[in-house]
Amino acid sequence: MTLYQPFLDYAIALLQERLDLRSYPIPAGFESKSATVGKGKNQDNVVTTSYGYQAPKLRQIRAAHVQGGDSLQVLNFVIFPHLNYDLPFFGADLVTLPGGHLIALDMQPLFRDESWYQAKYTQPILPIFTAHQPHLPWGGDFPEEAQAFFSPAFLWTRPQATEVVETRVFAAFRDYLQAYLDLVDRAEPITDPAMLAKIEQAQLAYLRYRAEKDPARGMFTRFYGPEWTEEYIHGFLFDLERKRAAVA
């Protein structure tokens, strides 16, 4: 069992229990991809497995699970709501590299600085953030331009010990996902055309930022080549623009 498998198993089981969950198409060739990296004794097989679901209010629920030995494990898990909801994104970036663990967990807001939005979507999460934060201290250096995409309840931490990931980080992940599904339960469709236009702009800004700055681009390019990587990013991980183009 690799480090993030219990996170993935928990998430899928909870989604199945709480949502009317259906599958979401994964483009051919991207369900699972493997490559052999390193030389001699340091050779390892790196497997990237993709998962895709959807639900009535949620356009795409997707995960990328990278497994390449004890010092290369990644679970990137994002939920993209449908464009007629003002729900935040659920974003988890759980990364283990030779240098250590890097954990990002948040309900990423559509409108970072609007007080009604914080009252609606950050306030309910703050008690959870406050409960976990003492055990998961701020991880330091963080890209300036990414700040617009995170909420005040952003958990960003670099635990030293793997045990902290298995216990504290896992507990925070479960609490955040449950709280997110509570927000989803309560969400009502938006019909005001001006608000719908604002949501679309915010979704596109988020998506373009993440696709352009994807911190995994270098890693995927080394393992699987540039063509596979760009197609994976734009055709699956961050696919909103392609999907809009397809219906326009």
Non-local (6+) Cβ contacts of 126 within 8 A are 152, 153
Pick between residue 25 and residue 189 the one whose CB is nearest to ligand DBV: 25
Pick between residue 30 and residue 149 the one whose CB is nearest to ligand DBV: 149
CB of 74 to ligand DBV, least distance (A): 5
Pick between residue 181 and residue 237 the one whose CB is nearest to ligand DBV: 237
Note the maximum CA span of the chain: 61
CB of 20 to ligand DBV, least distance (A): 26
Non-local (6+) Cβ contacts of 18 within 8 A are 181, 185
According to DSSP, residue 30 is labeled -
Sites of contact with ligand DBV (CB under 6 A): 64, 74, 76, 91, 93, 95, 97, 102, 104, 142-143, 146, 149, 209-210, 214-216, 218-219, 237
CB of 204 to ligand DBV, least distance (A): 14
**Rounded to whole angstroms, how far apart are CA atoms 11 and 17?**
10
Q: Around Cβ 190, how many Cβ atoms within 10 Å?
A: 17
CB of 188 to ligand DBV, least distance (A): 26
CB of 189 to ligand DBV, least distance (A): 25
**Rounded to whole angstroms, how far apart are CA atoms 98 and 91?**
23
* Cα distances (Å, whole numbers) of residue 140 to 56, 102, 103, 199: 37, 11, 11, 30
Pick between residue 214 and residue 239 the one whose CB is nearest to ligand DBV: 214
End-to-end CA distance of the chain: 43
Pick between residue 10 and residue 209 the one whose CB is nearest to ligand DBV: 209
Are 139 and 102 contacting, i.e. CB atoms less than 8 angstroms apart? yes
CB of 106 to ligand DBV, least distance (A): 7
Pick between residue 93 and residue 166 the one whose CB is nearest to ligand DBV: 93
DSSP helix/strand/coil, 159: coil
Count of alpha carbons within 13 angstroms of residue 121, beta-carbon side: 27
